[in-house]
Structure 1
Amino acid sequence: MPLPRFTDRTALVTGGGSGIGRAVALAFAAEGARVVVAGRGRAALDETVALVEGAGGSAVALVADVTRAADVDALVRAVVDRFGALDVAVNNAGVFRGAGPVADVAEEDWRTLLDVNVTGVFLALRAEIRQMRSQPDGGAIVNVSSNLGPHRQARGIAAYGASKAAVSALTRGAALDHIADGVRINAVSPGPSDTAMSLRHGESSADRAARMKELSPLGRVSSTEEVAQAVLYLASDAAASVVGTDLVIDGGAAL
């Protein structure tokens, strides 16, 4: 049986209170990592920690708002103070706002998308890279983007898509800037996944399943565990020469 890939490593997951972030936290813990989940809601983070510990893993929750530089810097310091290093970071915190044609998108929704999805990733990357490049073994970072924006378009999601296209571009640029520092940076771009974000207004999981059977080449949404396994691959030593990639996980929707 293969040895766990992340034994004695510390992994930070933003947006770790639900959905893909929670699945990523559980997957890292199952592979031996000490996991730190971060986000704005203490109760949801505590639920993730309880799930990790119930499965025999190790996790702690830290409250932080990724749109605030002071919060993000303090978050990284807290991880290092507690565990001695930051080996892996997954920048998953994100929001969906501003659905509808560009002409009808509220400025408040636009600014929220940029604040959380773009500035939040930038601030997290900056703090994580500064720490990792000071470590003898560097580190690995995976940003969570989307197939919408970088890889495909659909009506009514231009604002969201623009924010995620920025994440993918920032990933590639940061990867080029910092691979010589020993910091390896990549992204995943999920399509519809088994999360609340992929449900249309008033739609049930069964309704979504029927819709995806018609719309997706794969015929279904991706599970959060499938996305998590892609994240773990990019963060692992098996991907040591993978730099600046944007791995699409969408059942063929962007083809």
Structure 2
Amino acid sequence: MSSNGFEGRSVVVTGAGSGIGRAAAFKFAAEGARVLVADLNPEGAGETVKAIENEGGIARAVVGDLSDQRVVDEVVATAVDTFGGVNVLVNNAGIMDRMSALGETDDAEWERVIRVNLTAPFLLARAVLPHMLANTDGGAIVFTASEASLRGSAAGAAYTASKHGIVGLVKSLSVMYRGVGIRANAIVPGATATSIQVDARADAHGPATLRPYLGLSGRPAAADEQAAAILFLASDAASNINGAVLPVDNGWSAI
């Protein structure tokens, strides 16, 4: 078994077709885990699986919209049927809003961001819980939160609300299931070099208001730096860390 305790374990990573999710999938695979790659993008998911297999690792992909319960069910069933269970869930997949202020946020933007960023992680955590409860050593769930989980000046209304909700899920999970060996934690990425896109109107109130605050973010992190924190929180080295919301932001949250 590796020093982090991942050898032969089953790990589900969402949003693993690119960015932080892909970097996390690579790290878990390098530690001997069997990785279920979940992503909306078939090309990205396939590339992640191929890269893991080329290094001698084991990975499978499930492609689909994780805000759809049927896709969630397929992800969990594939991990259980192929790898024998689920030991770790990395709830990483997410989308940005348009940096819209509340008064500029239409129903479509609100509902889509909340569905992908908050409801999908809820659905996945709920789906893996029975399998983690069946494990003799429980399990670990790591969420990707955001600076927008901690403040109102890092994104628009919909994204900010969704990421504050993630922190609530982490805290509730950590209290409700700590007695049965399931841990829930979150990383809080600051500015990170990924492919995530922000479709913001330059003349809108939200982006114009947020621009000066976003300038305080400092050096963007590499996806690998965020993935290293995910790996740690999921590992045996973090066995007594539960309910933590860990900034990985080069001090932005300290400003």
TM-score, scaled to structure 1: 0.88
Q: 2 CA distance for matches of 1:233 and 1:15?
A: 19
Q: Deviations over 1:199-252 (max 9, x none)?
A: 7879xxxxxxxx999633xx4101110100100110000111101111111111
Q: How far has the Cα of 1:176 moved from its partner?
A: 0.8
Quote the residue 2:6 is aligned against. 6
Quote the residue 1:76 is aligned against. 76
| CA 1:142–1:155: 2 relative to 1, 3 Å | closer
Q: How far has the Cα of 1:42 moved from its partner?
A: 1.6
Aligned amino acid, residue 51 of structure 1: A
Q: 2 CA distance for matches of 1:234 and 1:165?
A: 19
Q: How far has the Cα of 1:109 moved from its partner?
A: 0.5
- Aligned 8 A contact 1:101 1:155 in 2: no
1:88 correspondence with 2:88: yes
Quote the residue 1:222 is aligned against. 221
Q: How far has the Cα of 1:155 moved from its partner?
A: 6.7
Quote the residue 2:233 is aligned against. 234
- Aligned 8 A contact 2:96 2:198 in 1: no
- Aligned 8 A contact 1:16 1:45 in 2: yes
Q: Secondary structure at the match of 1:184?
A: strand
1:50 correspondence with 2:68: no
Q: Deviations over 1:99-148 (max 9, x none)?
A: 22211112100000111111101100100112111222211110111111
- Aligned 8 A contact 1:98 1:110 in 2: no
When the two chains are superposed, the root-mean-square deviation of aligned CA atoms in Å is 2.3
- Aligned 8 A contact 1:100 1:155 in 2: no
Residues 41-50 or 55-64, more deviating:
55-64
Quote the residue 1:59 is aligned against. 59
Q: Secondary structure at the match of 1:254?
A: helix
Quote the residue 1:252 is aligned against. 251
Q: 2 CA distance for matches of 1:17 and 1:98?
A: 22
Q: How far has the Cα of 1:70 moved from its partner?
A: 2.5
Quote the residue 2:127 is aligned against. 127
- Aligned 8 A contact 1:189 1:249 in 2: yes
